[in-house]
Amino acid sequence: MFKEVLVITALTMGLLTFASPANASPKEQPVNEQTDVVWVSGNAVALVDHVNNRADIVDLHTNTATTISEDSSRILDLQVMSSPPKIVLLKQGKGTEISKSVFSSNGRLLSKTEIRLKTAGDKVKWVAPTGKINERIMVQAGDTFSLYQYPWAKPSVTYNAKFVDKGYENVSVMDWDFQGYPYLAVKYQAQGIMSTDFLVKLVNLYSRNETVIKDFNTDFSIQSSGNFYAANTSYTYQPVPGNVSRPSADEAQKVFRLISKSTGKESASVKQIFKEEGVISGWVTEAVNSQVFVGDLQGRSWSLFSQGGAVLLKDQVWPKNGTTKFLYANVKSKTAYFLDYSSGDISVIASTLK
């Protein structure tokens, strides 16, 4: 399935990964907002700490972590394959080189490959092989997107994502997601006079059809979820100039929406009202393994929804007054798991549901 595999001896594998209580100290204080959570399988999640360029596989039940990033080189991407679960980690190599490591779900190194691309990019995403199609890598450099596949000599598909809107002084690519050809989602930051807006363009790279969604009232994140894109927002209420728009505490906020890749239309959403009072107020939304976590910063509480918008849990206690990061909730066993960075280390809190 994987090309250009470099076989590593069992001894070397043992040196590259290690398991320990989930408290190995990183170089700098990691933060929730710069940590990605990727579901692996069973009771395991992968954490990508972008502050320290560190990737760990964390066992939620035993509170132990296996580090799979052997150095501080920039982490470019981490993807999980199923049947059986495998973890693919891309890191920045020398020049335009990308280091690709494949691990088992428990962190055992299976292979390591160096991929040489023609040009470097600002961000890359790895795409698993399907059928007769080899693995692919999407590379973004400014407004240009290039899709490569083995043997990586030149891109098979390119796309210019430049966005022109006379209503703004500047529109730039802020983020994007790509899980498989032909669907690409590009998030933009649009800056005007005393205003900043966020929008997304959904692109079919085959037909070149484009759908632009502009009705976000704050920053958002977007990620692929099968045949859909999951877009969620987080916001902390704060004073702004009178001529600057912001979410209203008097209105229900659309904190999550599910968007069809093929049609560009919204199929489900989650809305909630959040009070604006006290020292801190607003909300945090996370989407992990088809679960939608919505945290109320003022009430230090959280609720859980399905991606279809169904309520799974309501008004649960948010551990450590809302400073922890949601990882997963097992509704059957009435246990939710949170990441706690308060000591500067990785630590998992198991919280009993009401």
| Percent above pLDDT 70 for the chain | 92
| pLDDT tens column, 29-49 | 999 999 999 999 889 999 999
Q: Identify the DSSP state of 10.
A: H
pLDDT band at 193 (very low <50, low <70, confident <90, very high): confident
Amino acid occupying residue 16: L
Q: Tell me the mean pLDDT in the region 301-325.
A: 97
Tokens coding 284:
């945090």
Beta-strand pair 183-192/325-330 = unpaired
| pLDDT tens column, 218-261 | 999 999 999 999 999 999 998 877 667 789 999 999 999 999 99
The alpha carbon torsion through 342, 313, 292, 29 (nearest 10 deg) reads 0
Q: Rounded to two decimals, what is the model's pTM? A: 0.89
Residue 205: which region, alpha, beta or left (left: phi > 0; alpha: psi -120 to 50)? alpha
- Non-local CB neighbours of 208 within 8 Å, separated by 6+ positions: none
Q: Residue 20: its pLDDT value, please?
A: 46
Q: Residue 325: its pLDDT value, please?
A: 98
- Cα 10 to Cα 177: distance, rounded to the nearest angstrom: 35
Q: Residue 92: its pLDDT value, please?
A: 94
User: Is residue 26's pLDDT more than 70?
Assistant: no
Q: Residue 143: its pLDDT value, please?
A: 97
CB 67 within 8 A of CB 24: yes
| pLDDT tens column, 73-105 | 999 999 999 888 899 999 999 888 999 999 999
* Per-residue buried b or exposed e for 191-224, using 16+ beta carbons within 10 Å of the residue's own CB: eeeeeebbbbbbbbbeeeeebebeebbbebbbbb
Q: Residue 243: its pLDDT value, please?
A: 67
